[in-house]
Amino acid sequence: MDAFTGEIRLFPYNFAPQNWAYCDGSALTIQQYPALYSVIGTLYGGTVGQNFRLPNLSGRVAMGSGGTIGTNVGNLLGADRIVLSASNICSHSHRVLAKDGNETAAAVDTPNNTAYLAQPRNIRLYNSTVPSVGDPKLAMGTIAPAGNAAPPPTLRNTMQPFLTLCYCICLNGEYPIKP
């Protein structure tokens, strides 16, 4: 099967086949590739009348166009890393499961992975009763402060698992004709 000029395919090679080029954003002259220019124009960049750029799929994945704001052909969206901040984390909460001390049969003195966070005997957790020295204790590190009111900006990786292949575009093939 012949390829269409401007067609993009994935190849498992470490080279671009003959009449194909890597989709790496390279600039080509219109004079050298007039058919390809007539198909993609300056959709991916370039200077009208002089040169044009190939799509840049280096470190990117292809996505279907339309349906979502900003998903028109040629748009570059997304990032492989972002600064982690409160604005890009879904609001959420963390439950703390604790019992008030009334279920003495279920209470344990040594924390384990099936016990509630706190199950002290004869102590009301949610009132002003002060525990005494001999009362059961939570395991060290059960609750600790976390986070930072003003954390330094750190980049967080957002890439999905991947296998590297080569996106290539057909430079000279059968000319695609609109129906």
Q: What is the DSSP string of 145-176?
A: ----SSPPP-EEE-PPP----EEEEESSSBPP
pTM of the model: 0.60
What's the CA gap between 145 and 152, in Å, rounded? 17
Contact 32, 172 (CB under 8 A): no
Among positive and negative, which fits the CA dihedral 29, 52, 27, 10?
negative
pLDDT tens for the 179 residues of the chain, in order? 589 999 999 999 999 999 999 999 999 999 999 999 999 999 999 999 999 999 999 888 887 777 666 677 777 777 778 887 777 777 777 666 665 556 666 666 666 666 665 555 555 555 555 666 776 666 666 666 665 556 667 788 888 888 889 999 999 999 999 88
Contact 65, 73 (CB under 8 A): yes
Alpha helix stretches (DSSP H) within 26-179: 34-40
